[in-house]
Copies of this chain bind each other. A is one copy, B any other.
């Protein structure tokens, strides 16, 4: 690509292009292989150019995570509106979807939940207005509804949400870092885990 064509672009468009290339790269090759220099090579620009559109590596990775959290959040709301009858079943489906999302996007899940640098502290998260915050509240509401409807025990809501999210975190961590578990086995484990928990919380 010549210099001329490289130039005639709008800032926003180019930012999206970089993000797209980064997403592709990151999803397919994972956190370990991802580097700014290699990304630069892929998009055929010098490494420093990326810094004109993203503050730093974390900023770029954050953008990738937010994209996917956006998709997740949207789907989560769909689940909540489609299955409004039984709050426990809604919560169950939401949890299974979270797990499935993690199993299908392990690199993003890893980045979002198993990395400190990208998402920082809870305060920074709130300040940045991250999507992650939205989904947390969504789960909190779902749990609250289950308790209000009298179907689950009156355990502290935040503690209960934590335990449920923790179950998902653990599953993904084990799948990512543990031995190469066949995906259908993860599915069975996910089901068993969620059901055991929800039975355990049943009134």
Which residues does A use to contact B, with CB under 8 Å?
Answer: 32, 113-116, 119, 121-123, 125, 155-156, 159-160, 162-163, 165-171, 173-174, 176-180, 188-189, 192-193, 195-201
Contact = CB atoms under 8 A, between A and B. Distances in A.
Q: Main secondary structure on chain A at its contact with chain B?
A: helix
Number of copies: 2
Given A168-B170, A171-B166, A201 B196 contact: yes
B121 A177 contact: no
A200 to B, nearest CB: 3
Contacts of A173: 113-114, 166, 169-170, 173
Nearest to A160: B192
A69 to B, nearest CB: 15
A62 to B, nearest CB: 14
Given A162-B189, A166-B167, A116 B177 contact: yes
Contacts of A163: 167, 189, 192-193, 196
Contact of A199 (B156, B178, B199): B199
A189 B166 contact: yes
Contacts of A198: 200
Contacts of A32: 116
A135 to B, nearest CB: 14
A126 to B, nearest CB: 10
Contacts of A200: 195-201
Nearest to A167: B170
Identify the interface centre among A159, A170, A171, A188: most chain B CB within 10 Å of its CB.
A170
A152 to B, nearest CB: 10
Nearest to A201: B196
A170 B172 CA distance: 9
23 contacts: A113-B174, A113-B178, A116-B176, A119-B177, A121-B180, A122-B179, A122-B180, A155-B192, A159-B188, A159-B192, A160-B192, A163-B193, A163-B196, A166-B170, A167-B170, A168-B170, A170-B173, A193-B197, A195-B200, A196-B197, A196-B201, A198-B200, A199-B200
